[in-house]
Amino acid sequence: MTSLSKKIQFFCPVNLDDDEYRLYRAVYQSVMVDLPKPDLVIYLQAPTEIL
């Protein structure tokens, strides 16, 4: 689990009601099963107009 997904897992229960959180967890678990782990992640930080 990446640090971003850890943050998301932490804040979702705080920001979503119970039904929304259950739906989020179901979708998250479905996606994570089939999602391959990347060999490389590149983070770009710039205004949208530049990207």
Which residue matches tokens 């678990």? 29
Report the predicted TM-score, pTM, of the whole model to 2 decimal places: 0.53
Amino acid at 2: T
* Nearest by Cα to 6 from 38, 28, 35: 28
The pLDDT tens digits for 2-50 are 676 777 878 888 888 899 989 988 988 888 777 788 899 898 899 988 8
Backbone torsion region of residue 11, taken as left when φ is above 0, otherwise alpha when ψ lies between -120 and 50, otherwise beta: alpha
pLDDT of residue 15: 86
pLDDT of residue 1: 60
Q: Are 13 and 21 in contact (CB under 8 A)?
A: yes
The domain total for the chain is 1
Q: Which domain holds residue 33?
A: 1-51
Give backbone dihedrals phi and psi of 31, rounded to 5 degrees, phi first: -70, -45
